[in-house]
Structure 1
């Protein structure tokens, strides 16, 4: 795996200064990629948002705690899977299905987050498309074993992702290489016109009973959580409290999600995002 060295320090400007020094390692690409190779020494001011994403990426890539949380989620999912499949289906009963998100649910994309942060950029579609086509994301702890077991038990797996059709070939190549099962067009439901996954979930329900849903963003479970309102999303956690750890299996993702536009009042540029972040955190302390 290709790594880059860096040290994060707090500069006089109260922004994060970043230098590629010898303090720690964080992945910006894998398998000797030329797309994400960044070996020259860099020093520049960094926004609070991007500095935060570097730090959370380091936690995801380096901490045993993150791996343990992923394994915990997949252990719970395995218990639910074994319980549901312990009896044969009754005549006429729909087959079981598992619906899963892909990014930060099955695979780790922080290498792209780091690459973007080192360039002084937040999410950019063109960079994301290159990353997907590169097919270098790594599997989360416990993910491959869980989905292989579900496949062996005769459960259908539907990959409902907001990657778009341009990303299909690279995504399928990546997941096959990692050993995930049922990687074919009939089990892939990518984003078409909307990021709302309700219609795609309902399509699965036409022929299957959904045993569980896995995701890192609460919109992976119900459209209720797609709203850009923090208070309403918090209310939703209480509304669906009984589902978490049962039908809804949540994977940790501190890097991005609908919580960002909910906090910021929509999708905004990096400069405004930085300003809102600092303001909200200062207000929280009072």
Structure 2
């Protein structure tokens, strides 16, 4: 049976539905958004061959730098080492972000993340195991330095995540976890005293130097440009469009709440450089 709708009522009804869909539930934390800000970024991470290719590219570049360092070694040189971040560098978080989209959550959810980490959700990123095993086969040590906080079992969970994915050097000597800070420089400096650090791996500029941890987009870009010669040489950077300190530069907070005000701020950031068509 074909159902007909009075045309005089259809347009006002449609407009009302659209208005309700786009109206915030409250001034602060919104209910389910009409359009999840994470959708495009997560869809890319989940499906794009280009996303995987960037990881292979990063580890291939790291291997080239490692081979150069091995060839240049002389008797009496300090041993070689690699310093790596963990999350979204050697361990991927796609299943967490898939949950976030399916649950209509935006930005970041600490509670969900903590449960996902404890559930051993992270998986090795494309090319990570192969490259790190290659480094181990050449006598090069790998040190993992990460910032996490899942309570008293934080270190235990992080170690389990590495071991589940059969990453080399998954032990207490080679893993450092900061629970109360995102400043990794103290441990990086300690490692550099005893080893020649060939490359540093990360998905966040702050994984390389603390100076990048600033709440200003232009300042952060300027600081990065100062070190542009290091990228692809000492610093190997992997893609992460879903979270990180780039958000802090926009919002002043690396994990901003999903409010109407923050959505507007995000949109403004996306349109900060925009073509204006001529009339």
Q: Name the SS for the 1:158 alignment partner.
A: strand
Report 1 or 2 for greater relative contact order, CA contacts < 8 Å, sequence distance ≥ 6: 2
Q: Please give the alpha-carbon distance, in whole angstroms, between the structure 1 residues aligned to 2:21 and 2:187.
A: 42
CA contact (8 A) 1:77 1:249 kept: yes
CA contact (8 A) 1:132 1:167 kept: no
> Which digits, 9 at most, give the CA deviation of each residue in 1:88-128, with x for residues without a partner?
4422x321110000111112112112223333334222221
**4+ long deviations beyond 6 Å:** none
TM-score, normalization by structure 2: 0.81
TM-score, normalization by structure 1: 0.79
Instruction: Tell me which residue corresponds to 1:115.
Output: 99
Alignment counterpart, residue 198 of structure 2, candidates 208, 211, 215? 211
Alignment counterpart, residue 75 of structure 2, candidates 90, 107, 117? 90
Aligned Cα RMSD in Å? Answer: 2.2
Instruction: Tell me which residue corresponds to 1:225.
Output: 212
Q: Which has the higher strand share?
A: 1
Alignment counterpart, residue 119 of structure 2, candidates 130, 134, 144? 134
Instruction: Tell me which residue corresponds to 2:229.
Output: 242
CA contact (8 A) 1:129 1:167 kept: no
Instruction: Tell me which residue corresponds to 2:11.
Output: none
Instruction: Tell me which residue corresponds to 2:40.
Output: 55
Q: Please give the alpha-carbon distance, in whole angstroms, between the structure 2 residues aligned to 1:184 and 1:232.
A: 37
Alignment counterpart, residue 190 of structure 1, candidates 177, 185, 189? 177
Instruction: Tell me which residue corresponds to 2:18.
Output: 12
Q: Name the SS for the 1:279 alignment partner.
A: helix
Q: Please give the alpha-carbon distance, in whole angstroms, between the structure 2 residues aligned to 1:178 and 1:139.
A: 6
Larger radius of gyration: 2
Q: Paired residues, what number?
A: 246
Q: Name the SS for the 1:78 alignment partner.
A: helix
Instruction: Tell me which residue corresponds to 1:278.
Output: 267
> Which digits, 9 at most, give the CA deviation of each residue in 1:170-219, with x for residues without a partner?
22222222221000011111113311111111111121111110000000
Structure 2 unaligned residues grouped into runs of 5+: 1-16, 23-30
